[in-house]
Structure 1
Amino acid sequence: MTTTLVLGGARSGKSALAQTAAESHAREHGGRLAMIVTAQPFDDEMAARIARHREDRGGLWRTVEATHDLPAALENLTADDVVVVDCLTLWLSNLMLAEQDMETAADALVAAVGKAPCPLWLVSNEVGLGIVPENALARRFRDGAGRLHQRLAKAVERVIFVAAGLPLTLKG
């Protein structure tokens, strides 16, 4: 089993890379493709974006919605699954909006990733490359994402950073 953290900026190509890698793995080794999604359709534009992503994946993919309890979704995986989680920063946003403890949730996620019985790609936005945000909420989000990424980077076998559609392997 290989677990991979795929980091990059918005529209960097990280999701496409993870999806392509999972599809390739499933073709070569077998397995059921599953996309665990964390986005919530709070407005019409986001609902359309979600629908477009689902259509782009096509019928090969089973979609699992895990807007808040991502660790539980991972715990339900089997050895026959090939999984992409997209994306961790939206999941953190959902937790913040629901006023849930990000550290406790991160503990549960790291534990679930460590027990994943199948190939797993975790997609997340690297938000710590810019200036320090001017407001406390944005700083809390950036810091939470950075801490989560560091913990996951230690826990997974492979870490890839994507910029302009080009992957840079950081680990593995």
Structure 2
Amino acid sequence: MSHGQGIDGSSVDWLLIAKHIEAAKNTVIREHTSALIKFDGERTNGRIYTVIVFGAGSDDHIFQAETSGLEGAVTNAFPVDSDVETSQTVGLADLLRKWDKWARSGLILLLQIFVKDDSVVHMACIREGRGDVVDIRVQAPSVFIAISESVRQYEQVRS
């Protein structure tokens, strides 16, 4: 199942979101920039998602959105080069749905994508509780690996 329900009760297409988040790597490479996607469960205004594409300067943002709808923000920030759906895309959609559920229970989860030493790095972080009761950070060469490993580590800590 690739659809879910958004904060405002609207339908959410997690498969579409996963495709655009996978495309973020291409945006980072093409624009020589970095990106951040944050699920902030501590926010009380309903706008729990932040998507930022940083420019070359530290204060320069190519794109920034704080929103209650992740689908529109990632669609605008990260154009999809092809409409190819892989098993990893489907798996990523399921993992993002899980991240969303955890954010709604108060966790902070974020994905950073940046270039380091001519390689694209995906860093997934999960933080629970003030004072960092749980603070998981995973770096990987792909978004799927980074998020799936962060989920595995969080579930292991919580089991």
TM-score (norm 2): 0.25
User: Higher strand share goes to which structure?
Assistant: 2
Which structure ranks higher in relative contact order (CA pairs < 8 Å, sequence separation ≥ 6)?
1
- The answer to which structure has the higher helix fraction is 1
